[in-house]
Structure 1
Amino acid sequence: MDFNERLQKVADEHEISKLLSSWAYGRDNGEWDLLADCYHGDATMNISWISGSASDFVEQSKKMLAGAATDEHGKHNLGDAFIRVAGDRAVSECHVELLRRMRNDTFEFDMITWGRFIDLFERREDRVWRIFERTMVYEKDRMDPVNPDQVPAGYYDAMNLEKFPAACRFLCYRLELRGWSPEPNIITVNSEAEKQLLENARKWLL
């Protein structure tokens, strides 16, 4: 790889990294035009509560944020991304923490969901990198009371968590509690679906 090729590689990775940050900022702060511009028009989104078009994801996100209680808020905390570029296509694996303050009954809880975004990117006629496909692989989650002394013993026993994937059961519990239906084919870590997802990402670069 000569100097110009290395320079282009650095520029591509920087643009993709900035795109990842723009997505998180747009989603968490309701900057919907910014969020929509992260995707190609035919992009897809596959996460816990939606598996479909990215445009539908943006519209449903508007409803989700508008319907959130004033004392509930969330944030996507992104870690470093491993980015691979091949011409006008790229793949990224980015660690993400979904942080959420939730009220249930009269109690407040802090929820954390860990996972990875597996993203397929493409640079088309306008020479701008955008997401073609985003899928979340869920790894683990937890739900901690803000004031543990206020939560009665056995509180968690009353939750019907067994019907949800172990990697994101508290996230799915909250979704259902708020009137959203968790997707039936959520991808979790160390599953066959994750292996197939990573193989598809590898083929995307060929």
Structure 2
Amino acid sequence: MNNYDEISQLVARERLYRARHAEELADCYYPDATVATSWQNGSLDTFLNQSPAEVDPRFTIVGSVSAPVIHQNGDRAYVELPTVTNMRMMVQDVQTEIESYRRLIYRVEKRDQDWKIASMISINESDSLHAVIPGEKLVIDPKELAKFRPSYQFLSYVRTAAGGEVSQDLLGTDRPADIKKLYAQAQAWVDHKA
């Protein structure tokens, strides 16, 4: 395989293993990797061994990804991976499903012979929430959503309702200056300038 194929397979495996809670997930990352998502920001260990508050063990998390866009320079690359995640949960005694659209930005590096992930950060793009069973109604007061950012308002709502917390300073498409800065930092890293 060439580098692009190896990198594409790496990020695809990472997403597949994450959805399955597979032990192989850790092998996609370097031990010193960092991961920033909507529910945690920190070391690889935190990402591997915790789950967000709203995850209900009765339901499987389903995810799908689009083709990655790879920006490579020698032994470094950053990868943009559009992804959609569907999670079912109980909200107000109604079985619901949240659909979250995100763009994952991976920094991948070839140390020795293997490409692995050095960091991953999630950009929130949009989300929606609906009742799963036709005929059931989920009613949410729009005033309850007003305090949440539009790029991840329903994720914020369900996490708060489940007793968790979600920062309103996460990366999201509703703050384009933050996204532009992230891309500049990723490119500087790829170019060995950071």
**Higher mean C-alpha deviation, range 84-93 or range 101-110:** 101-110
Residue 93 (structure 1) aligned with residue 80 (structure 2)? yes
Residue 160 (structure 1) aligned with residue 144 (structure 2)? yes
Structure 1 residue 54 displacement after superposition: 1.7
Do the aligned residues in 1 keep the contact of 2:53 with 2:163 (CA within 8 Å)?
no
Which is higher, the Rg of structure 1 or of structure 2? 1
Give secondary structure in 1 for the equivalent of 2:165: coil
**Higher mean C-alpha deviation, range 98-107 or range 128-137:** 98-107
Do the aligned residues in 1 keep the contact of 2:35 with 2:120 (CA within 8 Å)?
yes
Give secondary structure in 2 for the equivalent of 1:25: helix
Do the aligned residues in 1 keep the contact of 2:53 with 2:164 (CA within 8 Å)?
no
Give secondary structure in 1 for the equivalent of 2:144: coil
Match for residue 111 of structure 1?
98
Deviations 1:64-97 (A, max 9, x none): 69x6241x22122111100122111011001000
Structure 1 residue 160 displacement after superposition: 2.0
Q: Which residues in structure 2 correspond to 1:132-147 (within 5 Å)?
A: 132-147=118-133
- Counterpart of 1:175 (choices 159, 162, 182) is 159
CA distance in 1, matches of 2:143, 2:162: 14
Do the aligned residues in 1 keep the contact of 2:83 with 2:101 (CA within 8 Å)?
yes
Match for residue 204 of structure 1?
189
CA distance in 2, matches of 1:160, 1:107: 17
Q: Give the root-mean-square deviation of aligned CA atoms.
A: 2.1
Give secondary structure in 2 for the equivalent of 1:22: helix
Alignment: residue pair count = 190
Do the aligned residues in 1 keep the contact of 2:53 with 2:162 (CA within 8 Å)?
no
**Higher mean C-alpha deviation, range 41-50 or range 176-185:** 176-185
CA distance in 2, matches of 1:37, 1:180: 29
Structure 1 residue 184 displacement after superposition: 4.1
CA distance in 1, matches of 2:57, 2:91: 11
Do the aligned residues in 2 keep the contact of 1:16 with 1:129 (CA within 8 Å)?
yes
Give secondary structure in 1 for the equivalent of 2:141: helix
Structure 1 residue 180 displacement after superposition: 2.7
TM-score normalised per structure 2: 0.89
State, as a whole percentage, how many aligned pairs show the same letter.
26
Give secondary structure in 1 for the equivalent of 2:145: coil
Structure 1 residue 185 displacement after superposition: 2.4
CA distance in 1, matches of 2:187, 2:95: 42
Match for residue 38 of structure 1?
28
Match for residue 120 of structure 1?
107
CA distance in 2, matches of 1:78, 1:42: 25
Gaps of 5+ in 1: 1-9
Match for residue 59 of structure 1?
49
Gaps of 5+ in 2: none
Compared with structure 1, are the counterparts of its residues 58 and 135 closer, same or farther at alpha carbon in structure 2 (3 Å cutoff)?
Answer: same
Do the aligned residues in 2 keep the contact of 1:115 with 1:137 (CA within 8 Å)?
yes
